[in-house]
Amino acid sequence: RIVYVYGQFVPEEEARIGLFDRGFLFGDAVYEVTAVIGGRMIDNDLHLDRLERSLRELAIPLGLSRKEIAGVQAELIARNALRDGTIYLQVSRGEADRDFLYSDALAPRFVGFTQAKTLTGTKAQQDGISVDLADDPRWHRRDIKTAMLLGQVMAKQAARARGFDDVWLVENGLVTEGASSTAHVITGDGRILTRAASRATLPGCTQRALALLCAAEDLAIEERAFTPNEAQAAAEAFQTSASSLVMPVVRIGDRVVGNGKPGPMTRKLQALYLEAAGVPV
Ligand code: PLP
ipTM of the complex: 0.99
What is the CA(205)–ligand 1 centre distance, in A?
Answer: 7
How far is it, in rounded angstroms, from Cα 217 to Cα 220?
8
- Rounded CA gap, 175 and 7, in Å? 40
Contact predicate 152/119, CB 8 Å: no
Query: Does the domain made of 2-116 have the CATH classification 3.20.20.80?
Result: no
- Say whether pLDDT at 280 is over 80: no
Q: Summarize the confidence of residues 10-16 as an average pLDDT.
A: 98
pLDDT one-digit tens code per residue, 234-254: 999 999 999 999 999 999 999
Q: Which atom of ligand 1 is nearest to the CA of 43?
A: 15
Q: What's the CA-to-centroid distance between 143 and ligand 1, angstroms? A: 10
Closest atom of ligand 1 to CA, residue 243 = 16
- Supply the mean pLDDT for the chain: 97
Per-residue pLDDT tens over the stretch 34-76: 999 999 999 999 999 999 999 999 999 999 999 999 999 999 9
User: Which residues line ligand 1 at a C-beta cut-off of 6 Å?
Assistant: 33, 177, 180-182, 202, 204-207, 240-242
Residues of the chain with CATH 3.30.470.10: 2-116
> Among 86, 150, 241, which is best to mutate for testing ligand 1, by the most ligand atoms less than 8 A from CB?
241
The domain at 123-276 falls in which architecture? Alpha-Beta Barrel (3.20)
Assign residue 153 a region (left: φ > 0; alpha: ψ between -120 and 50; beta: otherwise). alpha
Task: Tell me the pTM.
Answer: 0.97
- Give catalytic residue positions: 145
Please list the residue range(s) of the chain that carry CATH number 3.20.10.10: 123-276
